[in-house]
């Protein structure tokens, strides 16, 4: 199982430009099973979704097209409007067109995200090509109970897509490593670069292995991507040898 993590700047409020830019990067990568894009990759992080959230699912349609052409899953979040409600919705789109969604559970009250978006109620795990992925968005990273690996809904890799500001980058890095260690899993953290009206972003996109080691990382402040193999047999062997999860509360 290979996973590619994409770190890029985002053109504010311009889905077409962002889709074109991302497609160019994706086609330059080696083939992968899963491609992960940052939070609200099509518009930038919009606290107020009015006039910017998508009603026509144009970004989802583009993700389906890319997944089919790349023959791999494409994952990323989009500001979405459904029946008058707004969601920070993470899509996991498979090459056959199947779509699994996760609506961000922990809305960022510090920036009033909770005043505009409807909070998701359920956590989501999707299985693809023998690997189970936990889908998470940005602020979810600060809440370990919600991502706790367990026998009822187990997973092998947690995906965090984000618009995480430069000022709190050390927190981002620390928490990604913590989530990998405490859940005995791979963790993929995908963050944008550039700036918008409110924040500056430096990236910090990386893949952490179940031992808490950084397996690969994008350079800060650069459009870039990394492709990493997830060794699922090594993960299973580690869990058998050191069964931490069996002792969890």
Query: Lowest mean pLDDT: which of 92-96, 108-112, 155-159, 200-204?
Result: 108-112
The 10s digit of each residue's pLDDT in 3-54 is 999 999 999 999 999 999 999 999 999 999 999 999 999 999 999 999 889 9
Cα–Cα distance, 137 to 42 (Å, whole number): 15
Q: What share of the chain is helix, strand, coil (3-state, %, to 5)?
A: 30, 30, 40
Which sequence positions are flagged as catalytic?
39, 104, 138
Which domains does the chain possess? 2-247 (3.60.110.10)
DSSP state of 149: -
Cα–Cα distance, 36 to 159 (Å, whole number): 8
**Which pTM value belongs to this model?**
0.97
Rounded mean pLDDT of the chain? 96
Six-digit token pair at 140?
């979810």
């Amino acid at each position: 199982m290979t996973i590619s993590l994409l770190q890029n700047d985002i053109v504010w409020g311009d889905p077409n430009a962002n889709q074109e830019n991302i497609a160019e990067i994706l086609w330059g990568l080696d083939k992968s099973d899963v491609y992960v894009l940052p939070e609200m990759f099509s518009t930038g992080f919009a606290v107020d979704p009015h006039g910017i959230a998508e009603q026509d699912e144009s970004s989802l349609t583009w993700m389906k097209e890319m997944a089919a052409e790349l023959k791999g899953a494409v994952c990323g979040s989009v500001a979405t409007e459904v029946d008058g409600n707004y969601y920070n919705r993470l899509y996991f789109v498979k090459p056959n067109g199947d779509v699994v969604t996760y609506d961000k559970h922990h809305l960022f009250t510090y920036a009033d995200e909770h005043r505009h978006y409807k909070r998701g109620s359920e956590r989501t795990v999707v299985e693809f090509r023998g690997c189970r992925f936990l889908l998470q968005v940005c602020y979810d990273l600060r809440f370990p109970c919600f991502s706790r690996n367990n026998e009822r809904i187990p997973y092998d890799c947690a995906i965090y897509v984000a618009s995480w500001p430069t000022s709190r980058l050390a927190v981002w890095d620390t928490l990604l490593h913590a989530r990998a260690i405490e859940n005995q899993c791979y963790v993929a953290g995908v963050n944008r670069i550039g700036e918008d009206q409110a924040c500056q972003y430096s990236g910090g996109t990386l893949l952490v292995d179940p031992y808490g080691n950084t397996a690969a990382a994008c350079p800060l402040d650069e459009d870039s991507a990394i492709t990493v193999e997830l060794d699922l047999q090594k993960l299973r062997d580690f869990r058998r040898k050191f069964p931490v999860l069996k002792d969890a509360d």
